[in-house]
Amino acid sequence: MVGVARERMVGLLREAERAALGGRSERSDRYVQLARRIGTRYNIRLPPELRRRFCRGCSSYLRDGSTVRTRLRSGRQVRTCLKCGRAYRLPLRSRKSSTEATVGLPRGPMVEPLGVPVDELGEDEGSEDEGLDEA
């Protein structure tokens, strides 16, 4: 039952997109309402890319320029529904882990251990760098 309900929800949101592109905003809003009702009945969560297509306040299909205003502010994308005024704030980039953000460690496999001078590394640890210089 859950799989059929999820397919039905995705199909309704696809139809909502087609109706919105065709200029029938009332019909697209109705498709969104039906999809949300199915989701609440069967306790199904949609993926984030589908969840961002409709307003959770008034259940209207969000279409850039006509039903939603998109602005960029301080590292966030702010989407405001033009029907009910509800704002959604989405991060523009992924956050770094707290240790990388505070220490500033470079990412990647070639990170040297902190506090150990390069001259004191053993022969087997330093052999990787020597092969790169010769090539």
* Residue 61 domain flag: yes
Query: How much is the mean pLDDT over the chain?
Result: 81
> What's the pLDDT tens digit per position in 5-53?
999 999 999 999 999 999 999 999 999 999 999 999 999 998 888 899 9
60: helix, strand or coil: coil
Encode pLDDT of 47-80 as tens digits: 888 899 999 999 999 999 899 999 999 999 999 9
Residue 64 lies in a domain: yes
Q: Roughly what angle, to the nearest 10 degrees, separates helices 25-42 and 2-21? A: 170
DSSP 121: S
Please compute, for residue 111, the number of CA atoms within 13 A of its CA located in the half-sphere on the CB side: 10
- Residue range(s) defining the domain that contains residue 26: 2-91
Residue 114 domain-assigned (yes or no):
no
The total domain count for the chain is: 1
